[in-house]
Amino acid sequence: MLDKNGIATRIAQEVRDGWYVNLGIGIPTLVANHIQKGMEVEFQSENGILGMGPFPIEGSEDADLINAGKQTITAMPGAVYFDSATSFAMIRGRHVQLTVLGAMEVSSNGDIANWKIPGKMVKGMGGAMDLVASADNIVVAMMHTNRAGESKLLPTCSLPLTGVGCVKRVVTNLAVLDIKDGAFHLIERAPGVSVQEIIDATAGELIVPSDVPEMTL
């Protein structure tokens, strides 16, 4: 079974040389720490930076330089700042090759819910709806089940949607799954996780091939 860094490590393998990548808050942010050495990749944060670097050295934080999670960050050489309309032109205009974000629920037709629990939690969608509506490559990073042990991979989402039919790949603590033709397709299993465990933790329709390789991390 993978921890959060393990999920991020596996997702980092999805990144290709020369890509612009938008990482959401939480597990997706960790993906930046696991990019293969020598690869030219730039991270976009929708609040207005391309070429985001690591957290600043203690004492050099700048209140004017943050990411979309409102965390203090640094800028890499060649970085650029821009306004929010330009930022979403990059996103909506499909100039960003990969979006990685978290989710509360994903359905077997690629719907995603991650912004609201009616009556309980309403934080807002932020940039998530713009990101999922336009990105060609959307990878969801999340735990396979919620705190109550219930599957987050469902036949249909029960929570208010963030986007419809947009998620192509999900990486969880248990497995890598693709979404196509209205079903989850098991691609890889996490180290030490059996196919049966993944079947048991997946509520939506799951297609299991005869051979399911273990991830190489």
Partner 1 sequence: MSISKVVSGVEEACSGVEDGMTLMLGGFGLCGIPENCIEQLVKLGVKEVTCISNNAGIDGFGLGKLLSGHQIRKMISSYVGENEEFERQMLSGELEVDLIPQGSLAERCRAGGAGIPAFYTPAGYGTEVAEGKEVREFNGKPHILESALTADFAFVKAWKGDVAGNLIFKATARNFNPMMAMAGKITIAEVEELVPVGELDPNEIHTPGIFVQRIFQGLSFEKRIEQRTVRPLNSPS
Supply the residues annotated as catalytic. 46
Interaction of residue 53 with partner 1, rule CB under 8 A: yes
Minimum CB distance to partner 1, residue 123 (Å):
4
Interaction of residue 208 with partner 1, rule CB under 8 A: no
For residue 101, give the 3-state DSSP assignment: strand
Kindly report the backbone phi and psi dihedral angles of residue 171, in degrees, each rounded to the nearest multiple of 5, phi listed first.
-115, 120
Closest C-alpha to 33, from 52, 20, 59, 17: 52
Interaction of residue 40 with partner 1, rule CB under 8 A: no
> Which residue, 69 or 155, has its beta carbon nearer to partner 1?
69
Interaction of residue 106 with partner 1, rule CB under 8 A: no
Cβ–Cβ under 8 Å, residues 162 and 115? yes
Site track for partner 1 across 134-173, x = CB under 8 A: x-------------------------xxxxxx--------
Residue for token pair 């691609």: 187
Residue for token pair 């996490």: 190
> Which residue, 19 or 88, has its beta carbon nearer to partner 1?
88
Interaction of residue 123 with partner 1, rule CB under 8 A: yes
Burial 184-214 (b: 16+ CB within 10 A, else e): bbbbbbbeebeeebbeebbbbebeeeeebee
Interaction of residue 130 with partner 1, rule CB under 8 A: yes
Minimum CB distance to partner 1, residue 99 (Å):
12
User: What is the sign, positive or negative, of the torsion defined by CA atoms of 53, 7, 18, 97?
Assistant: negative
Interaction of residue 48 with partner 1, rule CB under 8 A: yes
Choosing from 37, 38, 40, 57, the residue that interacts with partner 1 (CB under 8 A) is 57
Cβ–Cβ under 8 Å, residues 19 and 38? no
Q: Which residues bind partner 1 (CB under 8 A)?
A: 45-49, 53-59, 61-75, 81-85, 87-88, 91-92, 111, 116, 119, 122-130, 133-134, 160-165
